[in-house]
Chains A and B, each alone.
Chain A
């Protein structure tokens, strides 16, 4: 019983950090378009320690996947479709991303200052 009681604060702590009771504050949104296998813009600047929503719009006929190991994000965007993901808060640095289906041309970087 004592063990159960000790476990409750741990679970409560876990649930409290979910942050669901405190919805994300107004988040900056940045639009990235995919056209002819390239990202526009291909360089994005965001402030340090700020959460940003990336809106990814694919203007091509074929699907593309926004892929970034640095940002730990993978988002499939269908042809003429839209996708999104949240990134940050991030420390200063350069975070590369690419289009997994056309990595030769679809390259970009998030610069955090």
Chain B
């Protein structure tokens, strides 16, 4: 497969979608998954993000989502959420997603905690079929440092155009300074088709600083947040992305 295929495909396919459709594999409101499941945890999960393209190649795109999640037991967390995307010209409901996270090892038993992610998305645009994202979630800690590294695959099924499957990773490093305020950095990267990675400049990679925190707001209630500012590090990446996630746990 040609190195430019991802970009060409993105451009071609983007034309078949409404104007607001994302032209990047990372949505503006993407976030770092972690493998830890907390049994009984219920949360209202809100996410927001906005991406600016490089040069004059298009409008900034924004995304917001609201979801409801539940830790069914000590190893399975499930969440359903809806996404809306918009730009200067258009706004529309984008998709419904069902995320399932499975914790495969006991927390702290091994040097790395391992989880599995399976996420099914039903885009509002039925030409896109169904999107499936799945992958391996890894987390490790050392003293006050915590690191996450996830390997992800993403593909569309029953789509009008066969898009193939893409391979990427996301990573996060944070220093657990205090519960309400932690410092770190995040990276989101899609390397290309699973069987043919793109050249460096054709890969979509964004990275930058992030802050995190959690504060209790009542008995059995807490608000958790993380916020990141990401720069695109390749020609095919967004110029910058601002993303945030706020969870109300109860």
Judged by DSSP, the binding face of B is loop
A51 to B143, CA, bound (A): 13
**Contact partners of A50 in chain B: CB under 8 A:** none
A4 to B195, CA, bound (A): 10
**B141→A3 contact, CB < 8 A:** no
**Contact partners of B140 in chain A: CB under 8 A:** 17
A89 to B200, CA, bound (A): 39
How many of A's residues come within 8 Å of B, CB to CB? Answer: 28
**B219→A19 contact, CB < 8 A:** no
**A76→B108 contact, CB < 8 A:** no
Known A72-B141, A72-B146; contact A18-B38, beta-carbon cutoff 8 A:
no
Q: How far does the Cβ of A62 sit from chain B's closest Cβ, in whole Å?
A: 11
A interface, CB within 8 angstroms of B: 3-4, 11, 14, 17-20, 24, 51, 53, 63, 65, 69, 72-76, 83-88, 91, 100-101
B interface, CB within 8 angstroms of A: 38-41, 71, 74, 106-112, 114, 138, 140-141, 143, 146, 149, 151, 176, 179, 197, 200, 219-220
Besides A19-B112, A63-B40, A72-B141, 17 new A-B residue pairs in contact (Cβ under 8 A), listed by A number: A4-B197, A11-B151, A17-B140, A18-B110, A24-B110, A65-B40, A72-B176, A73-B107, A73-B108, A74-B38, A75-B39, A76-B39, A83-B74, A85-B106, A85-B107, A85-B108, A86-B109
